[in-house]
Amino acid sequence: MFDGDYYELLEVERTADDKTIKSSYRRLAMQCHPDRNPGCKDSEAKFKAISEAYDCLKDPQKRAAYDRYGKAAFQNGGPGAGAQGFEGFSDIFENIFGEFMGGGGGRGGAQQSRRGADLRYDIEITLEDAFAGKQETIRIDVAAPCEPCQGSGAKPGTAARTCPTCRGHGKVRAQQGFFVVERTCPSCHGAGQVVAEPCEACRGEGRIEKEKSLDVRIPPGVDEGTRIRLTGEGEAGARGAPPGDLYIFVHMARHALFQREGTTLFARCPVSITTAALGGSITVPGLDKTAHEIRIPAGIQSGKQLRQRGAGMPVLNGRGTGDLVVQVEVETPTKLTARQKELLEEFRELETGEQSPETSGFFAKLKGMWGGE
């Protein structure tokens, strides 16, 4: 085990985020990789040390234990031994009572406890993509099974053997007062097997960092925050343990015309004062590439909403579609010709108040407040 400080070794601050730590590790690993420095013992030693440091700091639980207790967190009996021995209260409960509840403690449990980490990928799509669905190719950096050793961690031509300390269970028992407590085996770290001759490509981990391309199907009807799970596409487990999952979180780009609430689409549409007064129709292009004709009733007011059934978003993993709701905004003309002004003046002279009942009623109430007749 490396004796120095992991943060200093990776040339990062103790407050560095995961991305910074990973970037620094890759840079240093490339500099001192044994393949780039054949025969150099110092480079080989530093490569192993930075790999050890990164293996600790990339894991949130290990990093928290290291920040609090240092390397004592990973030494059997140290103040932070529990950080490595147990993964959480649920594991403690399972470890103590597992045999009695049928949970067992064999190799299956050891492998499952070393399951690869789940990964998250955020993707932004357009409203049109959410309407029709989309096939997207994404690229992620992930810990994948090592090809030379086929994920075993053992040098090609050799094989891992059953751990003599825990006899392949991945856990050891210790008497603590009246209780018998199970902890992760300190020799194999829960794998149930030990590797005498580690694979040079993965340093015995059974996995290496690589870029992977995945084809992802975005189904019609997805919305902001929709989560798509790709089983087994997360990080590979150590030494042949099951892989984690990949979770894709969908985010929606802002649309120029439509706003969305569930399966309902909303659009604000301006109409001329003459169309609002006399009635008519407007055409709204839908996401289904259909021109939807919206009838405007005569005398419509600003803010009135008109609904077009079935012209909204599709139901996710279901049948049917929502509605399109158009909110009318009556636009007052700003550039009038002399003739248009003349006609409006004539109209004003002919107004009796019945043409604008809300306006007449409002000012009638004001007169009442002022004591007018």
Q: Delineate the domains of the chain, giving CATH numbers in brackets.
A: 1-85 (1.10.287.110), 116-152+202-254 (2.60.260.20), 259-334 (2.60.260.20)
Q: How far apart are CA 293 and CA 282, in angstroms?
A: 6
Residue where the block lists tokens 């700003």: 334
Q: Report whether 40 belongs to an annotated binding site.
A: no
Q: Determine the distance from the C-alpha atom of residue 254 to the mean position of all C-alpha atoms in its chain, rounded to a whole number.
A: 19
State the pLDDT at residue 89: 38
- Residue 364: partners with Cβ closer than 8 Å, 6 or more residues away: none
287, 131 in Cβ contact below 8 A? yes
Q: Please name which of 296, 252, 303, 7 lies closest in space to residue 123, comparing C-alpha atoms.
A: 252
146 is known to lie in a ligand binding site: yes
- Residue 200 CB coordination number (10 Å): 14
Instruction: Name the H helices within 246-356.
Output: 273-278, 338-350
Q: Which of 279, 282, 278 is nearest to 270 (CA)?
A: 282
Residue 155's contacts (CB-CB under 8 Å, 6 or more residues apart) are 149, 195, 197, 198, 199, 200
Which pTM does this prediction carry?
0.57
- Count CB atoms within 10 A of the CB of residue 104: 12
Rounded to a whole number of angstroms, the distance between the first and last alpha carbons of the chain is 97
Q: Which two tokens stand for residue 363?
A: 């000012």
Asked whether residue 56 is marked as a ligand-binding residue, the answer is: no
Per the CB < 8 A criterion, the answer to whether 45 and 35 are in contact is no
Where helices occur in 10-167 by DSSP H, the ranges are 18-32, 41-57, 60-69, 81-85, 89-101, 107-113, 127-132
Looking at the DSSP bridge assignments, the partners of residue 289 are none
* HSE value, Cβ hemisphere, 13 Å, CA-based, for 368: 6
Q: Which helix (H) or strand (E) holds 9?
A: helix 6-9
DSSP 238: G
Local confidence pLDDT in tens for the 373 residues of the chain: 567 788 889 999 888 888 899 889 888 888 887 777 888 888 888 888 888 888 889 888 888 888 877 776 666 544 444 433 333 333 433 433 443 333 344 444 455 457 888 899 999 999 999 999 999 999 998 888 888 888 888 888 888 888 888 888 888 887 666 677 778 888 877 778 888 888 888 888 888 888 889 999 999 999 998 999 999 999 888 777 788 999 999 999 999 999 999 999 999 999 999 999 999 999 999 998 889 999 999 999 999 999 999 999 999 988 899 999 999 999 999 889 999 999 999 988 888 767 676 666 665 666 666 655 5
Can you give the pLDDT at residue 197? 86
What is the C-alpha separation between 50 and 10, in angstroms, rounded?
A: 6
Residues 225 and 218: their CA atoms lie apart, in Å, by 13
Alpha-carbon distance of 260 to 237, in angstroms, equals 40
Closest CA to 311 of 331, 289, 295: 289
Q: Is 269 annotated as a binding residue?
A: no
